[in-house]
């Protein structure tokens, strides 16, 4: 049995029920022959329930499949979370420089000159394009506001 499929199916069914319940509080019609704001959500959720049942059914019939997750990818995701939080706190430029250098170092890249060059080019390039040319301000961070 493909456990993942079954769990995903169950999760989607619960989600759909949640949507249907939440939609029932919406006005059914604005008069004027309109089906109302609840029509589409309920229809889509109902279809999704049907599809989830099929997915669960298929998941039970199929044999187990090995899905490999890579530690590299998960670390990357964690890094990104830190990066985003850092952008919020310290603004774009500091966090980007830190993120890039630490990331490359962590993944065993050791050519120091290249690391610095790439970081400078990317950060500088973004500054030029976004702040100078397009006049889009980038986050300056909680600490500096």
Which of 14, 21, 122, 128 lies at the binding interface for another protein (CB under 8 A)?
Answer: 122
Which of 14, 40, 124, 143 lies at the binding interface for another protein (CB under 8 A)?
Answer: 40
C-alpha to C-alpha distance for 87 and 69, rounded to whole angstroms: 28
Query: Residues 83, 95: contact at Cβ < 8 Å?
Result: yes
Q: Determine, following the binding rule CB under 8 A, whether residue 47 of this chain makes contact with another protein.
A: yes
Q: Determine, following the binding rule CB under 8 A, whether residue 107 of this chain makes contact with another protein.
A: yes
Q: Determine, following the binding rule CB under 8 A, whether residue 66 of this chain makes contact with another protein.
A: no
Which of 6, 10, 94, 138 lies at the binding interface for another protein (CB under 8 A)?
Answer: 138
Q: Determine, following the binding rule CB under 8 A, whether residue 88 of this chain makes contact with another protein.
A: yes
Q: Determine, following the binding rule CB under 8 A, whether residue 44 of this chain makes contact with another protein.
A: yes
Q: Determine, following the binding rule CB under 8 A, whether residue 76 of this chain makes contact with another protein.
A: yes
What SS3 string covers the chain? CCHHHHHHHHHHHHHHHHHHHHHCCCCCCCCCCCCCCCHHHHHHHHHHHHHHHHHHHHHHHCCCCCCCCCHHHHHHHHHHHHHHHHHHHHCHHHHHHHHHHHHHHHCCCCCHHHHHHHHHHHHHHHHHHHHHHCCCCCCCCHHHC
Residues 6+ apart with CB under 8 A from 71: none
Q: Determine, following the binding rule CB under 8 A, whether residue 145 of this chain makes contact with another protein.
A: no
Interface positions with another protein (CB under 8 A): 4-5, 8, 12, 15, 19, 22-23, 26-27, 30, 32-37, 39-41, 44-45, 47-48, 51-52, 54-55, 58, 67, 69-70, 72-73, 76-77, 80-81, 83-84, 87-88, 92, 96, 99-100, 103-104, 107-109, 114-115, 118, 122, 126, 129-130, 133-139
């Amino acid at each position: 049995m493909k456990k993942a499929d079954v769990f995903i199916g169950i999760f989607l069914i619960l989600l759909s029920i949640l949507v249907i319940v939440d939609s029932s509080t919406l006005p059914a019609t604005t008069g004027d022959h309109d089906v109302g704001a609840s029509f589409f959500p309920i229809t889509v959720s109902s279809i999704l329930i049907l599809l989830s049942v099929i997915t669960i059914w298929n998941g039970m019939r199929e044999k187990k499949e090995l899905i490999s997750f890579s530690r590299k990818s998960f670390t990357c995701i964690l890094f990104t979370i830190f990066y985003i939080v850092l952008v919020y706190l310290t603004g774009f430029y500091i966090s980007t420089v830190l993120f890039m250098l630490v990331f490359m170092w962590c993944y065993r890249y050791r050519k120091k000159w290249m690391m610095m060059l790439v970081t400078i080019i990317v950060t500088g390039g973004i500054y030029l394009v976004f702040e100078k040319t397009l006049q889009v301000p980038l986050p300056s961070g909680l600490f500096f506001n």
